[in-house]
Chain A
Amino acid sequence: MSEHALVDIQGLVKAYDLLPILRKLDLTIARGEFVALLGPNGSGKSTLIRLLCGLSRPTAGLIRIGGWELPKESAAVRAQIGLVSHKPLLYDNLSAIENLQFFGRLYNLSGSGLQAHIQAMLVKVGLAKRGHDLVRTYSRGMLQRLSIARALLHNPDILMLDEPYTGLDQDASTVLDGLLKEAHADGRTILMTTHDLPRAAVLPTRVIILSRGVIGYDASASGLDALSLAQIYANVTSMVSAR
């Protein structure tokens, strides 16, 4: 099964000394899936994302992404991943274009190809007119769109988002929906943590609920609506914590 899996996690444990965050997680994600990762605060969602990005070392277990193993082949893994964290990962005192140039160079992109690509990305996220403005003048929504442009700049196979909807207003959220749909339509695999249950029921193809470091629910999103997901979420999270 792991042959077709883009992301293959086996027996993943992450503990801070004696405080376990993830407990023996097994999970495979196939190419082209759009996975929503739900769960209460402290359930290990962000920890999982950081582990998959190679920003954190597993205590035990195996992570394989696109056939490369973490943390040994972490540079190869990182090259395939675009990350949108809950922080913007952008420099305040640089313009949008300068930010994208900088990160593009770190991914070994350069020259006129990079320039054209940056322009295209800015058009895509609707920031073409603000490209020369300093990032510190951006609103939260614009920052988030620019973050997505930054994450997609090197054309990664996998897009990871850590609570991308936090702090966005309705309009900005709708724009983000569109961008995610588009990225998914382009054939990218998406893993997104969120607290937004209605969105998690609609947008993704698969829903996973983490609770206290284990997978409490994992199923296709087809046929789910916001109400039934909310019911399931309540069951799963209270069930585990009651033990």
Chain B
Amino acid sequence: MKTPFLRTVLSIVQKDLRGELRSRELVGSMGLFALLSILVFSFALELDRVAREEAISGVLWVTVIYASTIGLNRSMAMEREHGNLDGMLMAPIDRTAIFFGKLVGNLVFTLVVGFILLPVMTALYNKSLLDPIVISLLGLGTLGFATVGTLLATMTVQTRARESLLPIVMLPITLPMMLAAVRATTATLSGTPDDGSISWPAILVVLDVIYLVASFLLFEYVVEE
């Protein structure tokens, strides 16, 4: 009776990618914001060589998370504007399939922006971020933000305040993620990936799992009326 789960997820991902390839609306606005943010940070913090070394991972992650809220807002508003969410909810599908479909799209778009950022920051800050460990950390962190963000953005686009509410509800919740991501990146960049006490990448993985499970269980409740 129901449309298979994976098929539904793939259809939604394909739909989002196709629309984005055509309009480049999400990656465009997120990417532009991210570039501006890097420049603004470097002016505002007047980063000299030493300060850059210490601040670079913070700048990277703050930029990524703010850019992701822009993308999440747009991506979910698209489903809301013309009632498309209702259209999907009417189909005989698992509602959590909608979550994973939207999550994959949001993750891909944010990652694209992140991958644009790495070489740009490498050039501007004269510190190589094109490191396999940094890239995998970017993947792990972005997964966590996209997971919680997809769940929360689905809620906030249905509220009165809409766009402005997402950062307010998302930033505090994802702060543990943010902290682990910044720490892990700084440790990698400074060449001391393991200070013996705690493995930051392991915490990232644990948080990813927690967020995925929680969002998987809770999503159904944020789409029904």
Q: Do chains A and B touch in the complex (CB under 8 A)?
A: yes
**Chain A positions 83-102 with a Cβ under 8 Å from a chain B Cβ:** 83, 85, 87-94, 98, 102
CA distance A78 to B14 in the complex (A): 23
* Cβ of A57 under 8 Å from chain B: yes
CA distance A153 to B89 in the complex (A): 16
CA distance A83 to B19 in the complex (A): 23
Per-residue interface assignment for chain B, residues 73 to 100, with 1 indicating a CB less than 8 Å from any chain A CB and 0 otherwise: 0000010011110111111110000000
* Cβ of B176 under 8 Å from chain A: no
The answer to whether A89 and B2 have CB atoms under 8 Å apart is no
The answer to whether A89 and B11 have CB atoms under 8 Å apart is no
* Cβ of A103 under 8 Å from chain B: yes
CA distance A76 to B93 in the complex (A): 10
CA distance A107 to B65 in the complex (A): 35
The answer to whether A88 and B18 have CB atoms under 8 Å apart is no
User: Given A75-B92, A76-B92, A106-B11, is A55 in contact with B86 using a C-beta cutoff of 8 Å?
Assistant: yes
User: Given A50-B225, A75-B2, is A91 in contact with B83 using a C-beta cutoff of 8 Å?
Assistant: no
CA distance A93 to B19 in the complex (A): 5
The answer to whether B11 and A105 have CB atoms under 8 Å apart is yes
Question: Which single member of A83, A90, A108 contacts B90 (CB below 8 Å)?
Answer: A83
Q: Which range contains the number of A residues in contact with the other chain? A: 20 to 34
Per-residue interface assignment for chain B, residues 206 to 225, with 1 indicating a CB less than 8 Å from any chain A CB and 0 otherwise: 00000000000000000011
The answer to whether B87 and A89 have CB atoms under 8 Å apart is yes
* Cβ of B8 under 8 Å from chain A: yes
User: Which chain B residues lie closer than 8 Å to A98 at the CB level?
Assistant: 15, 18
Question: Which single member of A54, A57, A90 contacts B84 (CB below 8 Å)?
Answer: A90
User: Given A91-B15, A94-B19, is A106 in contact with B84 using a C-beta cutoff of 8 Å?
Assistant: no
User: Given A55-B90, A55-B225, A78-B90, is A89 in contact with B1 using a C-beta cutoff of 8 Å?
Assistant: no
A15 to chain B, nearest CB (A): 13
* Cβ of A53 under 8 Å from chain B: yes
User: Which chain A residues lie closer than 8 Å to B3 at the CB level?
Assistant: 105-108
Question: Which single member of A57, A85, A105, A134 contacts B86 (CB below 8 Å)?
Answer: A85
* Cβ of B22 under 8 Å from chain A: yes
The answer to whether B92 and A93 have CB atoms under 8 Å apart is no
CA distance A150 to B84 in the complex (A): 12
Question: Which single member of A56, A85, A103 contacts B83 (CB below 8 Å)?
Answer: A85
Q: Which of B4, B23, B78, B90 has the most CB of A within 10 A?
A: B90
* Cβ of A7 under 8 Å from chain B: no
B77 to chain A, nearest CB (A): 11
CA distance A214 to B224 in the complex (A): 25
* Cβ of B162 under 8 Å from chain A: no
The answer to whether B23 and A83 have CB atoms under 8 Å apart is no
A71 to chain B, nearest CB (A): 8
The answer to whether B91 and A89 have CB atoms under 8 Å apart is no
The answer to whether A78 and B91 have CB atoms under 8 Å apart is yes
* Cβ of A79 under 8 Å from chain B: yes
Q: Which of B2, B81, B82 has the most CB of A within 10 A?
A: B82
User: Given A81-B90, A106-B3, A107-B92, is A90 in contact with B82 using a C-beta cutoff of 8 Å?
Assistant: yes
Question: Which single member of A89, A93, A108 contacts B22 (CB below 8 Å)?
Answer: A93
CA distance A79 to B1 in the complex (A): 8
CA distance A81 to B87 in the complex (A): 11
User: Given A53-B90, A81-B90, A107-B91, is A87 in contact with B83 using a C-beta cutoff of 8 Å?
Assistant: yes
Per-residue interface assignment for chain B, residues 124 to 148, with 1 indicating a CB less than 8 Å from any chain A CB and 0 otherwise: 0000000000000000000000000
CA distance A167 to B8 in the complex (A): 33
User: Which chain B residues lie closer than 8 Å to A94 at the CB level?
Assistant: 15, 18-19, 22
Given contacts A87-B83, A89-B87, 4 further A-B contacts (CB under 8 A): A87-B81, A88-B82, A94-B15, A108-B7
Residues in chain A within 8 A of chain B (CB atoms): 50, 53-57, 75-76, 78-79, 81, 83, 85, 87-94, 98, 102-103, 105-108, 134, 150
Residues in chain B within 8 A of chain A (CB atoms): 1-4, 7-8, 11, 14-15, 18-19, 22-23, 25, 78, 81-84, 86-93, 224-225
The 8 closest A-B pairs by CB, nearest first: A87-B83, A106-B91, A89-B87, A108-B3, A105-B11, A79-B92, A56-B225, A93-B19
- 21 CB-based A-B contacts, threshold 8 Å: A53-B90, A55-B89, A57-B224, A75-B2, A75-B92, A78-B91, A78-B92, A87-B81, A88-B83, A89-B82, A90-B82, A90-B87, A91-B15, A91-B82, A92-B81, A92-B82, A93-B25, A98-B18, A102-B15, A108-B4, A134-B22
